[in-house]
Structure 1
Amino acid sequence: MNTVLLKRAICFLIFLLSCQELFAQDPQFTQYYAAPLYLNPAFAGTTGQHRASVNYRNHWSSLPQAFVTYAFAYDYNLPASNSNIGVIVSTDRAGSANLSSTNIGAIYSYTIPLNNKLRAMPAFQVGYSSQSMDFSKLVFGDQLAFGNADAPTTDPDARNLDNNNHFDFASGLIIYSSKFWAGFALHHINQPNQSALDGESKLPMRATLHGGMKIPLKLGPMKSGIESSINPSFNYRKQGRFDQLDLGFNYYYRMLMLGLWYKGIPLQKDMPRTINHDALAVSVGLSMNNLNFGYSYDMTVSKLGPASSGGSHEISLIMELQLSKRPGKVSRKDKYNPCPAFMPRYLWKP
C-alpha cells in the first residue's frame, strides 16, 4: 500500500475512534451587527430606503482547507406602506472535497408602531438551500486497500452520494426604538434533511436571542461638543447541543468605530473539565458618506489556541442610500432606526 495513503487512513481511523460524538452548526459572523439579515430576517427595512451588505469570514485561517463564508444581502423599506422586503444569499465552503452549502432567501417584514417611539417588526423568510461536494476528491476503503486513490471505486456508498437540495424556512421578531433593540429568530424551522446518502440527517433548528442599546456620549461643551456613543449588545444562539454567547460593545466616534467582544459561556462546560471559552475579538470600522467598512479578528482562547488555528478574520461592507424628497432631512421612519445600524445616520453630522 502507498505509504502516504496508509498514514492518512491510520490518522483518519484514530480521529474517528477518539470522537464519541461529532457536532456541527451554522457559520456565524462576529460582526453580527453588520450582517443584520443573516442574524434575523426581521431587520429587513430597518434603515434608510436601501441597504446592501457584503460579509466575508475566514474561520481558523491557518488550518488547511479552512471554513470560508460569504454573505450578500439587500433590503428595502417601502415608503408608502409599513412593509419591507429583502433578499439574502450566503455560502460556505470547507474541507479538501470542497463541501459547499449555498442558501438563498426572500424576506418579508411588517412594521407595527406600538407608540411614538417603539416599533415591532415580525418577519418571515422562505429559502432554498443547495449542498454539494467534489466527489472525485473522496477516497474510499477499496481505493486505500489497493493503495491507489485514482483507481475507480466499487464502494456502494459512492453510487448513493448525491448533491442535496431543500427548502428552508425562518422567522423572527424585533422590538426597537432609537435607544435599544431586542429580538429573537428561528432558522431551519422545518429541519430539512441534509444527508448526501439515502439516510436521514436533519439540520437542527437554530434559535437566537439578541439585544443591545445605545448610550450617547458628548465630548466637549454641551452645544458644540462631539457626539459619540457606546453600543453594548449580546447575541445568544443555540443549535442542537451547541450554544454560545457573544457579548461586547462598539464605541463610535465621528467616522470611526472600535469594538471588543467575548465569545463563549464562561460558567458552562462544553466538555468534561473544560470551560466553554471560544474567542476574544476586536473590531475596527470606518464610515464614509453612505459606505461603512468593518474588520474584526477573533483570537482563539480555547484549547485549539491561536498558534494552531490562526484565529479568524472577518470583513464587512455596507452601503446605505436614503433617497428622500428633501435632501439632508431624516424621515420620521428613519429617526427610529434600531441601534444595530453600523453607523447610525443620526449619530453624527459629517
Structure 2
Amino acid sequence: MSNTIKYLFLLLLKPMAIWAQDPIFTQFYNIPEALNPAFTASANTWNAGIAHRRQWPNDNRRIDTQYAFVSNLATDELGLGLTAQNHSEVFTGYNYFKLNGAASYRVDVSYDWHIRFGIEAGYGRKDFGFGGLLLEDQINIGTGAIDGPTVDPGAMRNNKIGFFDLNAGILADNESSWFGVSLRHLNRPDISFTENGNVPLNMFLSVHGGYFWDLGGLPSFFLPEGSTLILMGNYMRQSEYNRFDLGTVMDYGRFSIGVFSAVNLERKTNNGHLLTSVNPVATVNFGEFKFGYSYDINTSGIGRTGGIHELTLIWQSSRECSKCDNYKVRLKRNGEAGYSKG
C-alpha cells in the first residue's frame, strides 16, 4: 500500500474526523426535540415532525441528514416520545443512524416557572464502506487490472458498529422565556471500527434559550393581530468544534420570517472566520401543519458549496387537551416557537 493511500486510510480512522461530530439543524426552534430531550411532549398534545437537511449539494460533497420525532403526554407531568435520525455522506460513504426513546418530567416551581427534566436513550449505528477502498496490492502492475481482494491486514476491519447511547437535558421556562442545557453521549460509547480500538464518542453540549414578545399592542395597520417576535440562541460544542446560532423570527400569523447567524466564537487560527454563515428562515402554517425552509449562506470563504438547504414539516394536534392549563394560549404560541411553554 503506497504512503499516500496509507495516509488517507489512517485519516479516515481519526477520532476527530468530521463524521465523529453530531449533525445540527438551523431550524432548531421548529424541532427542539433534536436539541434537548426535556422538550419531549412540551406541546402538551400529540405532535410530530420530520426534517431534511442537505449540506453542500455541489459535486460529491453532499451531506444529508433526516430527523423525525413523535411525542405526547402520558400523564399531566410525564411526556413520552420517539426520535430517529439518519446522517449520510456521499464522498466517504459514511452513515450514522440512531433510534431513541425519550421521556420528560415537568415540575412546577412557581405559578410562572416550570422545570422539565429529560432523558433519551437508544441504539446508534455507524457504517463505513471499507470494502470500497482500492489498495495497491489489488492492482496488477503489468496489466493495470484489479486482481481481487487485498491481503493487507489493516483493511480487515468492521464495516458497521452498533452502540448504546444516552442523552439528558434540563429546561426552565415561563410564559415569555425559556433556557435549557443538554448533553449527548453521556456514556461516551466506543465508535472505533477496529476490533481492539478505543475511540469514545465526544459529548455534545448545547445551551439554548429564547425570549418571546407579544406585539399585539402595536397599531393594527402595522402588524396583523397576534403577531409575535422571538429572539433565540443556541450554543453548541463537541470537542474542538463550536458554533453559536443567534437570530430572531417574526410571526405574522400564518407566515413567519427570520434570520439567524452562525458564529465561530472560539476560532482556532488567526485567519478563522467569526461569522461562518447567514441563514434566512421562513415558515408557513396550514391548520395543524407547519412547513419551514431555511438556507445557510456561507460567509467563510470555504468555496462554492451550494449552501445548505433545510426543510421541516411539523404537525401538532389542535384537539382539546383536558390535561393542559391555558391550552389555547399555548397552542397559539406554539405556532412559531416550536413548542409551548408552561
Aligned position for 1:192: 189
Aligned position for 1:64: 60
Aligned position for 1:243: 242
- 1:34-183 counterparts in 2 under 5 A? 34-78=30-74, 80-143=75-138, 146=141, 147-148=144-145, 151-183=148-180
Amino acid at match of 1:93: S
Q: Distance in 1 between matches of 2:335 and 2:137?
A: 53
Aligned position for 1:334: 327
Aligned position for 1:293: 291
Amino acid at match of 1:140: L
The 3 A distance-change label for structure 1 pair 184 and 156 is same
Per the TM alignment, residue 317 of structure 1 is displaced from its structure 2 partner at its CA by 0.4
Per the TM alignment, residue 343 of structure 1 is displaced from its structure 2 partner at its CA by 2.6
Helix, strand or coil at the partner of 1:226: coil
Q: Distance in 2 between matches of 1:325 and 1:181?
A: 22
In structure 2, list runs of 5 or more residues that go unmatched: none
Helix, strand or coil at the partner of 1:33: coil
Aligned position for 2:257: 258
Any conservation in 2 of the 1:195–1:201 contact (CA below 8 Å)?
yes
The 3 A distance-change label for structure 1 pair 33 and 52 is same
Helix, strand or coil at the partner of 1:274: coil
Residue 343 of structure 1, aligned match among 329, 336, 339: 336
Any conservation in 1 of the 2:182–2:207 contact (CA below 8 Å)?
yes
Helix, strand or coil at the partner of 1:343: helix
Could you list the per-position Cα deviations for residues 112-143 of structure 1 after superposition, in whole angstroms to 9, with x for gaps in the alignment? 11122211100111111011133332223423
Q: Distance in 1 between matches of 2:313 and 2:81?
A: 17
Any conservation in 2 of the 1:168–1:188 contact (CA below 8 Å)?
yes
Amino acid at match of 1:278: T
Q: Distance in 2 between matches of 1:345 and 1:195?
A: 36
- Percent sequence identity over matched residues? 24
CA RMSD of aligned residues (A): 3.2
- Normalising by structure 2, report the TM-score: 0.87
Any conservation in 1 of the 2:206–2:237 contact (CA below 8 Å)?
yes
Could you list the per-position Cα deviations for residues 299-319 of structure 1 after superposition, in whole angstroms to 9, with x for gaps in the alignment? 1111213xx211000000000
Per the TM alignment, residue 271 of structure 1 is displaced from its structure 2 partner at its CA by 2.2
Amino acid at match of 1:92: H
Q: How many residues align?
A: 331
The 3 A distance-change label for structure 1 pair 336 and 193 is farther
Helix, strand or coil at the partner of 2:33: helix
Any conservation in 2 of the 1:280–1:298 contact (CA below 8 Å)?
yes
Q: Distance in 1 between matches of 2:267 and 2:60?
A: 28
Helix, strand or coil at the partner of 2:191: coil
Aligned position for 2:225: 226
Q: Distance in 2 between matches of 1:38 and 1:148?
A: 48
